[in-house]
Structure 1
Amino acid sequence: MRRRDVLGLLAGAALPCPRPARASQALLDESVGFAGQILFLTTKTPALVLGVVHDGQTSIQGFGRRADNPNEAPGADTLFRIGSITKAFTGQVLANLAADGVVSLADPLTKYAPEFIAPMSEGGRPIRLIDLATHSAGLPREVPHEAGPPANPFVNITTDAFAAWLKANPLMFTPGTSVSYSNFGFDLLAAALARAAHQPYPDLLEARVLRPLGLADTVFAPSAGQAGRIMPGHDFDGSPLPNARTGSVIVGSGGLYSTPRDLLAWLQWHLDRFGSERAAERLIDHAAYLWRDGLNAVVGMDESGHMDAMGLGWVIMAPDGDRPLILQKAGGLQGVFSYVAFAPARGIGVCAAINAFDVGAGLAMAKTANDLIMELAPR
Structure 2
Amino acid sequence: MSALGEEAGELLGPKHTTYVVARVAPGDTEVDAVGAGVHDDVELGSVSKGVTGFLWRDAVARGTLAEDARLGEHLAVPQALADIRLSALATHTSGLPRLAGGDVLRRTWALWRAGRNPYREDLAGLLAQLDGVELGKPRPAYSNLGFQLLGHAVSSAAATPYPDLVAQRIAEPLGLVDTYVPLAPAQLRPGAVAPRNRAGRVVEPWANEAIAPAGGVRASAADLAVLLRAMLDRTVAGADALEPSTPFGRSMRIGAGWLTGPMLRRTVTWHNGGTGGFRSFVGIDRDHGVGVALVSASTRSVDGAGARLLAEAGDA
TM-score bin, normalised by smaller chain:
0.7 to 0.9
Aligned mate of 1:84, from 46, 52, 70:
46
Q: Give the CA deviation at 1:189.
A: 0.7
Q: C-alpha displacement at 1:140, in angstroms?
A: 1.7
**2:33 counterpart SS class:** strand
Corresponding position of 2:309: 372
Q: TM-score, normalised by structure 2?
A: 0.86
Q: Is the 8 A contact 2:90 2:147 kept in 1?
A: yes
1:337 maps to amino acid: R
Paired AA for residue 26 in structure 2: D
Alignment of 1:331-342 (within 5 A): 331-342=273-284
Shift of 1:167: 3.8
2:56 matched to which residue of 1? 94
Structure 2 residue aligned with 1:153, among 117, 135, 143?
117
Q: Which residue of 2 aligns with 1:181?
A: 142
CA drift of 1:237 comes to: 3.4
Partner residue, 1:21: none
User: Which residue of structure 2 aligns with residue 288 of structure 1?
Assistant: 244
The correspondence for 1:137, drawn from 94, 98, 105, is 94
**Cα distance in 1 between the residues matched to 2:66 and 2:131:** 25
TM-score by length of 1: 0.72
Aligned residues between the structures: 308
Structure 2 distance, partners of 1:93, 1:348, is 23
CA deviations on 1:134-193 (whole Å, 9 max, x unpaired) are 11111122113464897973564344454455442321223xxx2222111111011111
- The residue that corresponds to 1:193 in the other structure is 154
Per-residue deviation, residues 31-71 of structure 1 (Å, max 9, x unmatched):
x345313124x3522223322011141112334xx2xxxxx
Aligned twin of 2:230: 269
Matching residue of 1:260: 221
- 1:352: how far off? 0.7
Q: Is the 8 A contact 1:36 1:49 kept in 2?
A: no
Which residue among 197, 205, 217 is the counterpart of 2:166? 205
**Counterpart position of 1:25:** none
Q: Which amino acid aligns with 2:77?
A: F
State the match for 1:13 in structure 2.
Answer: none
For 1:160 and 1:36, the matched residues in 2 are separated by 41
Alignment of 1:28-43 (within 5 A): 30=3, 32-33=4-5, 35-40=7-12, 42-43=13-14
2:33 paired residue number:
62
SS of equivalent residue, structure 1 residue 339: strand
- How far, CA to CA, are the matches of 1:199 and 1:335 in structure 2? 29
> Are the structure 2 counterparts of residues 215 and 62 from structure 1 closer, same or farther at C-alpha, using a change threshold of 3 Å?
closer
CA distance in 1, matches of 2:15, 2:119: 32
224 and 107 in structure 1: CA distance in 2 versus 1, 3 angstrom threshold: closer
**2:253 alignment partner in structure 1:** 309
Q: CA RMSD in A?
A: 3.0
Q: Once the 2 structures are TM-superposed, how far is the Cα of residue 265 of structure 1 from its aligned partner?
A: 0.3
Structure 1: state its 5+ residue gaps: 2-28, 67-73, 293-297, 299-305
In 2, are the aligned partners of 1:133 and 1:312 still within 8 Å (CA)? Answer: yes
CA distance in 2, matches of 1:231, 1:345: 33
Larger radius of gyration: 1
CA deviations 1:188-211 (Å, max 9, x no partner) are 011111111111221122111111
Distance in 1 of aligned mates of 2:100 and 2:204: 23
Letter matched to residue 17 of structure 2? P
| Distance in 2 separating the partners of 1:36 and 1:54 | 16
Compare relative contact order (CA 8 Å, sep 6+) and give the higher one, 1 or 2.
2
CA distance in 2, matches of 1:270, 1:248: 26
- State the distance in 2 between where 1:169 and 1:62 align: 42
Q: Secondary structure at the residue paired with 1:37?
A: helix
- Quote the residue 1:5 is aligned against: none
- How far 1:126 sits from its partner (Å)? 2.8
Are the equivalent residues in 1 in contact too, given 2:48–2:216 (CA < 8 A)?
A: yes
Q: Deviations over 1:269-290 (max 9, x none)?
A: 11114x6x96xx32x2222121
Match of 2:203 in 1: 241
Q: Deviations over 1:74-124 (max 9, x none)?
A: 3421211111111111111111111112113321111212x22352x7xxx
Q: Which residue of 2 aligns with 1:15?
A: none
Aligned-pair identity (%): 25
* TM-superposed deviation, 1:252: 0.7
